[in-house]
């Protein structure tokens, strides 16, 4: 296993074969995110992408909250009003743009890694937490989760992925606009009804163990197949049907091979296949 111990703002463990559990570990701050933590976030996925012992990643938060959003204190320098410094507004805007792009790239890492990511939302899961949730593949919540696209309530439009990815994730654009424009809280059950949450567990512990079980099921499959499946679905949400059919044809031109032989033979023999690492 690669070494994830240097990431002090996260707790990283391996609860099962091929399953990596990444936990936000700033419980006192309710796992609010600052530049250090989003940079570490990206670096963890950068390593996991090429870690042959990782096939599925579970993401959760230690303490009372999954994530209480952006740590406003930490980014105060980027959200000052006009008269706070002497840079002109053109230059300030170009710097702000660069700041946002790096932030997006870090938080969007679960979306761009071709290994499935399952997140567990519990307790306060607001603002940036929704950006994070929109970037993963499968979302499980515990009953105590408090969800909110909160950004509008503090005077800004969400800009780290929520408004960009959720229109292609949830099943109701009107509902999405309503919660994004009001900033109101919504429950895990409401979120499940709208397709934002896959399932709701009684407690956070149960949600985490559900996530790990699900991760184990996926990790038992061919890593070539899960890589290709995630890549194909994400490609399809951004491209036309003909382009997407071409993409998977090119991928499966090489990816259909030994694992299909093994998988099909095992299925016929009702045995459990063991696939080589990827």
Residues 18-77 that bind a second copy (CB under 8 A): 50, 72
The whole-angstrom separation of Cα 43 and Cα 52 is 16
Point out which residues pair with 147 in neighbouring strands: 125, 186
For the bound state, the minimum distance from the C-beta of residue 209 to a second copy, rounded and expressed in Å, comes to: 16
Point out which span in 7-15, 19-27, 29-37, 191-199 binds a second copy (CB under 8 A).
191-199
Residue among 79, 185, 187, 190 that touches a second copy (CB under 8 A): 79
Residue 19 CB contacts under 8 Å (≥ 6 apart), including other chains = 54, 55, 56, 57, 58, 212, 215, 216, 219
Residue among 175, 187, 206, 209 that touches a second copy (CB under 8 A): 175
Q: Binding residues for a second copy, how many (CB under 8 A)?
A: 110
Point out which residues pair with 10 in neighbouring strands: 24
Q: Cβ distance 119 to 130 under 8 Å? A: no
Residue among 93, 202, 203, 271 that touches a second copy (CB under 8 A): 93
Site string for a second copy, 101-140 (x = CB under 8 A): x--x---x--x----x--------------------xxx-
Pairing between β-strand 56-61 and β-strand 138-142 as defined by DSSP bridges: unpaired
Residue among 14, 62, 64, 183 that touches a second copy (CB under 8 A): 183
- For a second copy, the closer of residues 10 and 125 by Cβ is 125
- For a second copy, the closer of residues 189 and 250 by Cβ is 250
The whole-angstrom separation of Cα 219 and Cα 16 is 9
Q: Cβ distance 44 to 10 under 8 Å? A: yes
């Amino acid at each position: 296993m690669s070494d994830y111990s240097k990431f002090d703002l996260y707790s990283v463990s391996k609860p099962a074969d091929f399953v990596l559990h990444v936990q936000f570990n700033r419980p006192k701050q309710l796992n609010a995110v600052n530049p250090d933590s989003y940079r570490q976030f990206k670096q963890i996925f950068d390593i996991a992408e090429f870690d042959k012992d990782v096939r599925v990643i579970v993401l959760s938060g230690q303490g009372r909250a999954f994530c209480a959003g952006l740590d406003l204190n930490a980014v105060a320098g980027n959200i000052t009003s006009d008269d706070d410094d002497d840079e002109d507004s053109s230059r300030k805007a170009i710097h702000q743009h660069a700041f946002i792009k790096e932030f997006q790239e870090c938080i969007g890492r679960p979306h761009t890694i071709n290994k499935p990511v399952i997140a567990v939302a519990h307790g306060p899961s607001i603002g940036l937490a929704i950006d994070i949730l929109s970037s993963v593949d499968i979302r499980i919540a515990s009953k105590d989760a408090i969800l909110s696209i909160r950004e509008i309530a503090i005077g800004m439009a969400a800009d780290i992925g929520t408004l960009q990815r959720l229109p292609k994730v949830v099943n109701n654009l009107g509902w999405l606009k309503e919660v994004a424009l009001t900033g109101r809280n919504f429950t895990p059950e409401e979120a499940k009804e709208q397709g934002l949450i896959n399932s709701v567990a009684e407690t956070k512990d149960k949600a985490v163990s559900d996530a790990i079980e699900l991760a184990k099921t996926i990790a038992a499959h061919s890593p070539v197949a899960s890589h290709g499946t995630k890549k194909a679905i994400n490609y399809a949400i951004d491209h036309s049907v003909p382009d997407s059919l071409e993409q998977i044809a090119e991928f499966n031109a090489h990816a259909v091979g030994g694992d299909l032989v093994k998988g099909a033979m095992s299925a016929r023999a009702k045995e459990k296949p063991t696939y080589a690492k990827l």
